[in-house]
Every structure is written in C-alpha cells, then in structure tokens.
Amino acid sequence: MKTIKLKKESVQLVKDVLKDIKASPDLGIYKCVQCGMCTSVCPGARQTEYDPRDMIRRVLEDDETVIDDDNIWNCFSCYTCNSVCPSGNNASEINQILRQMSIDKGEGMKKIVSFAAYGDSFMELGVGSIPNNFFDVMVKDVGPGYMDLKINIEDIRADLGLGSYILPENAIDEVESILDNSGFKDRLEKIKRCK
Amino acid sequence: MNQDSSKDISNKDLKIGVFLCRCGGNISDTVDMEKLRSSVDAEVVEEFENLCSINGRKIIRDSIIQKNLDRIVVAACSPITHEKTFQKYINPLNPYLLEMANLREQCSWVNPDVETATEKAISLVNASIEKVKYAQPLDPVLRKTTKSAAVIGGGISGISASLSLARQGIKTCLIEEQPTIGGAMVKVGKLFSPEKLAEECAMCLLNPLVNEAVEHKNIRIMTNTTLKSAERRSGNFHLLIESKPRKVIEDRCISCGKCAEVCPVEVKDSWNEDMTFRKAIYKPFAQAVPDVYTIDLEKCKNCGKCQEVCRMNAIDLDMEGEVVPMTVGSVVIATGHKTFDMAKRPEYSYGRHDDIVTQMELARIMGVNGPTQGKLLKPSNNKVPERVVMVQCVGSRDEKPGGRKYCSKVCCMVAIKHANVIKQHYPDTDVIICYTDMRTPGMYEKYFKYAQSNGVRLIRGRPGEIAEKDGIFLVRLEDTLSREPLEIEADLVVLSTAMEPSDGTINVSGLLDVGLTEELFVKEKHSKIKPVATEVDGVYVCGTAQGPKDITDSIVQANAAAAKISELINGGVELEPFVASIDQSKCNLCKKCIDICKYKAAYIQDGMLTVDPISCTGCGACIWECENNAIEIMGQTDEQIIATIDGMLKDKKPEENRIIAFLDSVGYVSADNIGINKISVPSSVRIIKIPSMNRIMPKHILHAFKMGADGIIMGEYPYNPMYSRTKEKIAGLKEELVKNNINPDRLAFYKVYIPYFRGLANKFKEFDGEITCLEKG
C-alpha cells in the first residue's frame, strides 16, 4: 500500500518541470483534475500505452520513473491535448520537458539518435530536410511519387517560378558557424556516440 | 439643526469643555491626571471616575447649560466604544460638536511609562480641542425611499421578487422583454425534488405564482418591454421603459388562435429550442401569460390575413411602440441567463447532427407541451434512442478560449433528472453520464443515489470529441478510473451546456451603472455579508443574473432582495453625515469628480453637481480632481485636519520624535485592538482617524512636517473600491516630499486589517526605529 507520509516529502519533479525553460509561464499543471480529456483525443494513446493524463498524475505525485518510461516517446507532439485541455494545462509541453530530462540523464539519447541526421542536414545544407536514411520509409508512406519529387525538385520549383532551395555556400558556412559556436555541433556528436 | 448653529462666533471665542475620564484607573493609573488637567487650555476642565455612567451625563450636561459651552471634548476610551453614548450626553448641543480623545486604547494601554503616556495624552486632548473648534452642527442622513419598485426580468426570480414586494404593500412593476412571463422555468418541464426523490411539474408549481402576480393589485406586468434608460436621483430611480408594439390589442384578444391558423409565415419556434415551427402571429405556449397573441415584428409580412379572420377586431397592424417614464424607489435585476454557444466547441459536432442536443432541447423533447408531446424520440427519425450519452461540463470549468471557468452548478442535477425521467419511462434505454466530478451537495446527494439505483450509469472522464460512423455516434473519452481510452456508441448525445449571463443582464447592468464580475454576471456588494445588494444602493440582484444557480436558490435570492427593499422603505437608514459637500459657486461642472468616484455618488441634476449622501463614503478622492476647490468633506475639512495635526504636534520637545499615523476606520479599530491586547506602541505615535488615505493631500503632509512631525505613516484597508487610487496617491506624495527636500523615507504606507493588529504594532515599532536612525543621521 502506498502511504502519503505525515513527514513532509519533497515534491520536486513538478517544480523542476515548472522551472524548465520550456515551461510556459502559465502552465496549469497544478490545476489538472485528471478528467482525461487529453487522453480521449490523443492519437498516441489510441495506438500505444501512452496516457497523457497518467503522465501528468505521475509528475504531480513526484514519480520520477515517468522520465524513464518508454511510453513518453509515443507522443506525436500534435498538441491536440493542449487544444482541448479545460484546465489550462499542456500535456505535450510537459512531455517534451520530461523527454529533455530523459536526454539529460543519458537514457533519452538513444531515443533521438535516429534523428541525428536531421542535425547533420542543418550543418551540411543550412536547413532541416528529411535525411536520406528516411527515404525508404517515406516511399512506403507517401508512395513512389516521393522519389520523383526528390529527384526533380529543382525542375518543379523552376516550373513554379521558385528559386533554388539550396543555400549559397557562404550562407551555409554562416549557419554552420552559428551551430558550432552555440554548442549544437558538440551536442550532435555526443548524441551520435550513443548509437 | 440645533439652535447654536446660528451663532456666529469666531473659533477663538468658543467655549470648550473638556471632560477627562479616569476610567476606573484604566487611564489614571498610567496618565498623570493632575499634569494633564493643568496642561489643557479650555473654559471648563472636569475629571470624573466613569464619564460613561449616568452621573457622568449629569456632569457634562450641567456644565454645558451652566457654563454655556459651545463645543465638547471627552477624553476617555475609544470613540468606537462610546462616541454614540457621549453624543447623546452632550444634548442640548448638536451631537457632531463632540470630539473624543482616545486616552485608553491608544494611550494608557499601549504606553506603560507614565511620563510619555502623559505627554501623549496631552497632545491627544490638544488635537481634539483644536479639531472641535472647527466642528459644524450636522444632521445624520436619513434615507427615504419611495414605496415602489421595478423588477426587470419575468422569470421565476422576477416573479418571486415581485410577489414578495407586492405582498408587503410595495407597488411593483414587472418588466419582461418577451411577450410572456415565466422565463426558463416554464420550458424545463420537470423539476427535481431531492426531498421526494421525484420529478415535479414545473408549470403546476409556477402557474399559481403567475396567477397571483396577474391578480395582485400591487403588480403591474409589462411584457414585450425593455429598460431603455435609468437615472438615480437621491434614492429614487427615473426609468424609461420601452414597449414593443404587440400589434394585438390585449383587452380584445380572446386567444382563439384563428389568426395563427391563417398566417402564412412559418418561423422556427424558439420556445421549443427551434425544433418546431410556429407562425408569425403566435402565443409562445398554451398557458402563456398574458393570454394573448403577439405578432413577430421581424417575420410578419403585413399581409393582413389575421386581421380578416379576427372576429374581435383585436389586430392593429399600425400599432406603434411607446416609451413610458416611471419613478421607483428600488430596482431588482432578475434578467437571468442564456446557455453556452456550441459553435465554440466544434469537437462535439453540435449542429451537424440532429441527434446531438443540449439539455434544454432534451427538456423540450420530454416536455408534454413540447415537439413530441413528451415522448423521448430522436429528432432525426422519431425513434426511441437505445443509448443516451450525456456529456457534462460543456463550456463550464473550461479555461479554453470562450469557455467559462466556473462550475455552472445545476448541470449535474439536470443531467440526473433527465436520466431519471428516461429510466422511468424507457427502462430499456441505456443512460450514461460522462462526468468530471458529480456535484450534488446537501440533499441533492440523495437524488444522485436515487439515479444510481435506477440504473443510470456513470463514467468518469471528460469526452474530447464526438465522432459519427455509419449513423452511430462515438463519444471518445478516457475512463479515468479504469485508465482506459474509451469509445461509447450512442444514438442520442446530450450536452450539459454552461450557464452564461444573458444579454439582458449585461445591458440592464450597464444602464443602471451596476458593476459586473469578471464573468459579466451582476456583482454583489459583498458576496458574504451583502448578498443580493449591488454596488449601486437601491439596486438588487437575484437569480441567474447574479450567477449560475437552480430555481430553489433563485427564489431564496428573490425573497432576500424584496426583504432588503422593504428594509429601505419601512425602516429607512440613518447614516453619518461625513460626506462630500459641494460649493456650487465654485463648481464648473467639469465632471472629473463623477468620473473618479467608484461609489458613483456624484451626478449632475438640474445643472448642479449633486452628491448622493447614501453612497458617498467621504473618502475624498474627488477633492484631488477638483481644480476649483469646490468640494469639502463634512467632518474632515482641511481646517479640521490641519487643526488636528497642530494639536498633535503642540509643545513638542526638541529631543522628542513624533510620528503622525493616519489610519482609516479599519486601521483605527486595529489600533484599538493593539490597546485591548496591551501591546506597547512607541510613545512617538499619534493616531488620526481619516475616512480614506485619499483624503490626505500634499498640503496636509507638508504642514505636518513643517509643524515638527518626524515621520508620517498611513494605514489603509486594501479591499476598498478606491484602494488603487490610494496607491497612486502615495507615490505622488513621496515625490512631493522630494521636491520639498524632505526625505521620502519619512513617509510610510501600510496595509491594515482588523485581526492583524500585531502587524500594525510591529510596523509602528519598525517605523519608529527608522525615524530614530534618520534623526541620528
């Protein structure tokens, strides 16, 4: 049986969440009444064991194991939970804060390794673009037209009167310099080492 | 007015009598009475053991008569304790020619040292002597109210209030915007009864009340009418009431209905929540009061067919509306509510499917005079539903844009009521209520249990969307108790929509200048101790215009509002005359005082600025705005404030510190509490009672510093309507000090509360310490 002890226990997790730089100033986690409206509209909850309402409960009850729970990685960040929440709370924002906590602990690194190629594209092209290693999945999802689009993108853009989407060399250098000096590059390398 | 008001003598010639009370040692044990007596400069100085006793009265009265005294100072306990007593004791003088020096609570009890206590006592008596020289004979303000009232809104609240007023002999006009009275109560059909565990017929309960209202000689019912304008004049209201033309002559119409038969115009019937049609000439429902037909001005095509068939010659298509003036003593706002606009929550698919309805629509469907004559049939196909799912908190307890943060209070009971009715008549129909919390306090809990025993099912979870697949609704929620995302299949979905203030509530409040809450319901003066009173004296509120509530609570409020009006009429109210007074020769009608006054006490009448003494608190905020110095506060004139300050600072020794403490009435009581609890206060503190810190102006502060004050502290209770002004003022006063080369740290402000007297005592000590430091430099 769980006991809420008389001796004041620290409830640190919710405070850490609210202190996080990503937390909105009016984040209403304390106002949650566990009505489950977030879960009722969550596509992640429909397909997996992810339950945003329960995630919020665990944060409020100082259950730190929620950070290590694989289920928090099943949120699509679609923000529907946020758009329906009647209590001014934002489950997707809290999800992202918990994920960052997991990444900071090290465990979460493994979950984002596969996205590292996105970071590379920023370094190489100066913009975020779908990395090559996702092409197979995209073809499966979107259909063979996806590769046609990829290959002929410059011609299609020219037909539409749009310029090249490849940034000029000096712009790419500048972006890279910013990413390097801001620590992005080091962080990316660190993530890649978790493979 | 007393006879001495006509005496024209200068302040110097006034004969002042000072009466010192030993208070059975409470004062004389600490204050050196001999020294005090010899230090007081007055025509008569008397000392007595217990001045408040009957013997004390004799001493005071005899002195007044024998020595022909003009003004009286009683140096005794706090005026809070005995001012009323001594005001009576100084008869034949006017009661307002008395000043009290608070030697007990604010001197002997907080100042154990004899020497400093005596010094303080001398200055407190001096301050009272100086102030009383400027006292004017005044009469208390008596509020008298015309024995009549207007009740705006003809729902159950308005009808109940009108009946209570009428039964107490008060002429009452009941003003209703719709062509019939009855409001929401006639539409709901059934009412829950937690005592009987049953549902009662709304119409059967309401009809006797409506009939009594119709018959009552003191009630005039005006339907099809709205409030157009309102002006308040010294306790009365001048209203303009606008009537829409009914185009049917009420006295002639026999309600035969032939006109509606021939009318070619079909209109959605709002009385049935737009689920049926009526004609452009109509009577909302069979038992409507008044029992006459009305023409829908927006929809009527003026074809004249109704006129042709009317054998009573009752239809007048050229009838015009009229505006009627009316003067009443009081007004009741009973303008009711409306329900949440479902367009704001598209996720519930309302409006896209006929079988997603609101609780009010379900009430009409199940009403015997509704579209299906009381049968529970789905609007789409007229079949009995297999499963009804009710969604609670739609728009209530909702912080999303357009949502209502409050709980609408009645929806749990309404849902249970409808669920019970369905279960009784259609036991095979499954009823599920999706709830966040079931709120059924008091006896209502019994009715809730009764629903459970009837087989009504409850699932705890708030649905996020309602989808439709192959003609079946899918209500999506999480069963939060079993922790399972859930889809409930349903063929009738009922939404328990929030209660919102009606447009009429907002409009009427604007016309009457009554304050609204954040949610735009009518704001009560104080929800605990002044319920049903609004910010405007003489205007009361009841029913859902004040906030979400059920019929029981609405009737209770209606009766309370009527009782309050009766109090004003029968008892009248006697108030202290310390209010703003206008020098008409100086007033240029700039209206700045009207704009600033949150008590709405000032207005212009017959080209003259007028102050309603009932509403004015004498706070003095208006004086700051008046460029021509046309305003004075009776009992707190500039002369009186300056004189009090002078008295408090008289004979100050060079090494001594004196701090003036201006306290409002709350702060003054708090300071008395310091004394009652025998907590010591620095001997430097001299307290002056002021209605509001808004009364204190730079000239008063600068004068006090000029006369030798070392520090000034101002204490005000923060929950008064003018407090925001006070805060601005304090900043302004500090700037003024800087301009005059006075350290602004010598002026302090403190929020006072009656129970938190220890905080005030600490603040006095702290400030005294700071001032001592400044003196040492």
Q: How do strand B387-394 and strand B573-575 relate by DSSP bridges? A: unpaired
From A88's Cα to the closest Cα of chain B, the distance in A is 6
- The rounded percent of chain B whose pLDDT value lies above 90 is 85
CB contacts, 8 Å: B349 with chain A = none
Question: Could you tell me which of B621, B593, B620 has the C-alpha nearest to residue B608?
Answer: B593
What confidence category does residue B724 fall into, taking pLDDT thresholds of 50, 70 and 90? confident
Upstream peptide bond of B92 is cis (omega within 30 degrees of 0): yes
Helices and strands, counts by H and E, chain A: 13, 0
**B436 and A38 in contact by Cβ < 8 A?**
no
What confidence category does residue B9 fall into, taking pLDDT thresholds of 50, 70 and 90? low
Distance CA B45, CA B36 (A): 10
pLDDT at residue B8 tops 70: no
pLDDT in tens, B136-178: 999 888 777 889 999 999 999 999 999 999 999 999 999 999 9
From A160's Cα to the closest Cα of chain B, the distance in A is 37
Provide the 3-class DSSP secondary structure of residue B391: strand
Question: Could you tell me which of A186, A31, A65, A153 has the C-alpha nearest to residue B436?
Answer: A31
From B366's Cα to the closest Cα of chain A, the distance in A is 30
- Long-range CB pairs of B596-603 (<8 Å, 24+ gap) are B596/B621, B596/B622, B596/B624, B596/B625, B596/B725, B597/B621, B597/B622, B598/B721, B598/B722, B599/B535, B599/B721, B599/B722, B600/B232, B600/B513, B600/B535, B600/B536, B603/B231, B603/B232, B603/B233
Return the biggest CA–CA distance within chain B. 103
CB contacts, 8 Å: A42 with chain B = 485
State whether residue A54 sits within 8 Å of chain B by CB: yes
Instruction: Give the pLDDT mean for B63-84.
Output: 94
- Select the residue of B393, B399, B463 nearest A40 (Cβ to Cβ): B463
pLDDT at residue B234 tops 90: no
CA B100 to centroid of chain Cα atoms: 33
Instruction: Give the pLDDT mean for A70-96.
Output: 95
Helix (H) or strand (E) run with residue B672 in it: helix B665-676
A contact test, residue of B344, B460, B478 with most A CBs within 10 A: B478
pLDDT in tens, B552-607: 999 999 999 999 999 988 887 777 899 999 999 999 999 999 998 888 889 888 88
Mean pLDDT of all residues belonging to chain B? 93
Secondary structure of B157-199 in the HEC alphabet?
HHHHHHHHHHHCCCEEEEECCCCCCCCCHHHHCEEEECCCCEE
pLDDT in tens, B284-324: 998 899 999 999 999 999 999 999 999 999 999 999 999 99
Where are the domains positioned within chain A?
A: 12-107, 111-192
pLDDT at residue B4 tops 60: no
Amino acid at the residue A192: K
**B485 and A37 in contact by Cβ < 8 A?**
no
Distance CA B165, CA B174 (A): 11
Distance CA B633, CA B623 (A): 9
**Residue B3: what pLDDT?**
41
CB atoms within 10 A of CB B443: 13
- Select the residue of B437, B465, B486 nearest A41 (Cβ to Cβ): B465
- The rounded percent of chain B whose pLDDT value lies above 70 is 98
CB contacts, 8 Å: A39 with chain B = 464, 478, 480, 485
The least confident of A18-32, B227-241, B356-370, B702-716 is: B227-241
A contact test, residue of B480, B496, B497 with most A CBs within 10 A: B480
CB atoms within 10 A of CB B656: 13
**Residue B2: what pLDDT?**
42
What confidence category does residue B731 fall into, taking pLDDT thresholds of 50, 70 and 90? confident
**Residue range B575-633, CATH number:** 3.30.70.20
From A41's Cα to the closest Cα of chain B, the distance in A is 5
- Select the residue of B347, B461, B483 nearest A84 (Cβ to Cβ): B347
State whether residue A103 sits within 8 Å of chain B by CB: no
CB contacts, 8 Å: A53 with chain B = 478, 480
Instruction: Give the pLDDT mean for B329-355.
Output: 96
- Select the residue of B393, B399, B485 nearest A28 (Cβ to Cβ): B399
CB contacts, 8 Å: A40 with chain B = 461-465, 476-478, 485-486
Decide if B77 contacts B101 (C-beta within 8 A): no
Sign of CA dihedral B288, B289, B293, B299: negative
CB contacts, 8 Å: B479 with chain A = 36
State whether residue A24 sits within 8 Å of chain B by CB: no
Chain A CA closest to residue B398: A86
Instruction: Give the pLDDT mean for B523-545.
Output: 92
CB atoms within 10 A of CB A149: 12
Decide if B480 contacts A53 (C-beta within 8 A): yes
**Residue B6: what pLDDT?**
39
Q: In Å, what is the CA distance from B166 to each residue of B179, B289, B531?
A: 22, 18, 21
- Select the residue of A31, A35, A51 nearest B462 (Cβ to Cβ): A35
Decide if B557 contacts B542 (C-beta within 8 A): yes
**Residue B7: what pLDDT?**
43
Query: What ipTM does the predicted assembly reach?
Result: 0.77
Listed in sequence order, the residues at least 6 apart from B383 whose beta carbon sits closer than 8 Å to its beta carbon are B377
- Select the residue of A45, A83, A84 nearest B485 (Cβ to Cβ): A45
**B347 and A41 in contact by Cβ < 8 A?**
yes
Provide the 3-class DSSP secondary structure of residue A13: helix
Instruction: Give the pLDDT mean for A10-38.
Output: 94
Which residues are registered as beta bridge partners of B749? B714
**B464 and A40 in contact by Cβ < 8 A?**
yes
Phi, psi of B614 (to 5 degrees): -75, -40
Decide if B443 contacts B197 (C-beta within 8 A): no
Q: Sheet containing B71-76: which strands, arranged edge to edge?
A: B44-48, B16-21, B71-76, B98-102
Phi, psi of B492 (to 5 degrees): -145, 125
Which one is the CATH code of B338-500: 1.20.1080.10, 2.30.42.10, 3.50.50.60, 1.10.3720.10? 3.50.50.60
Listed in sequence order, the residues at least 6 apart from B391 whose beta carbon sits closer than 8 Å to its beta carbon are B348, B434, B462, B463, B466, B475, B493, B494, B495, B496
**B324: its two tokens:** 């009627």
Q: What is the DSSP letter of B628?
A: T
Where are the domains positioned within chain B?
A: 338-500, 575-633
B contact test, residue of A29, A31, A40 with most B CBs within 10 A: A40
Chain B CA closest to residue A38: B464
pLDDT in tens, B646-664: 999 998 998 899 999 999 9
Q: In Å, what is the CA distance from B401 to each residue of A83, A84, A91, A170, B462?
A: 10, 10, 17, 46, 17
B contact test, residue of A33, A39, A49 with most B CBs within 10 A: A39
From B453's Cα to the closest Cα of chain A, the distance in A is 24
Listed in sequence order, the residues at least 6 apart from B445 whose beta carbon sits closer than 8 Å to its beta carbon are none
CB contacts, 8 Å: B463 with chain A = 37, 40
State whether residue A84 sits within 8 Å of chain B by CB: yes
Interface of B to A at Cβ within 8 Å reads 347, 393, 397-400, 403, 436-437, 460-465, 476-480, 483, 485-486
- Select the residue of B347, B480, B486 nearest A53 (Cβ to Cβ): B480
Q: In Å, what is the CA distance from B211 to each residue of B1, B149, B217, B292, B604?
A: 50, 20, 12, 15, 42
**Residue B10: what pLDDT?**
64
Provide the 3-class DSSP secondary structure of residue B688: strand
What confidence category does residue B726 fall into, taking pLDDT thresholds of 50, 70 and 90? confident
What confidence category does residue B777 fall into, taking pLDDT thresholds of 50, 70 and 90? low
Instruction: Determine if residue B430 is left, alpha or beta; phi over 0 gives left, psi from -120 to 50 gives alpha, anything else beta.
Output: beta
CA B49 to centroid of chain Cα atoms: 45
pLDDT in tens, A105-152: 988 998 998 888 888 889 888 888 888 888 888 899 889 899 898 889
Chain A CA closest to residue B488: A40
State whether residue A41 sits within 8 Å of chain B by CB: yes
Decide if B209 contacts B163 (C-beta within 8 A): yes
**B477 and A40 in contact by Cβ < 8 A?**
yes
Question: Could you tell me which of B202, B102, B219, B89 has the C-alpha nearest to residue B151?
Answer: B219
pLDDT in tens, A4-22: 778 776 789 999 999 999 9
**B347 and A45 in contact by Cβ < 8 A?**
no
Residue whose pair of structure tokens reads 């009594």 in the numeric block:
B212
pLDDT in tens, B422-457: 999 999 999 999 999 999 999 999 999 999 999 999
Q: How do strand B281-282 and strand B219-222 relate by DSSP bridges? A: unpaired
**Residue B727: what pLDDT?**
82
**A80 and B399 in contact by Cβ < 8 A?**
no
**Residue range A12-107, CATH number:** 1.10.1060.10
Decide if A67 contacts A102 (C-beta within 8 A): yes
CB contacts, 8 Å: A41 with chain B = 347, 464-465, 476
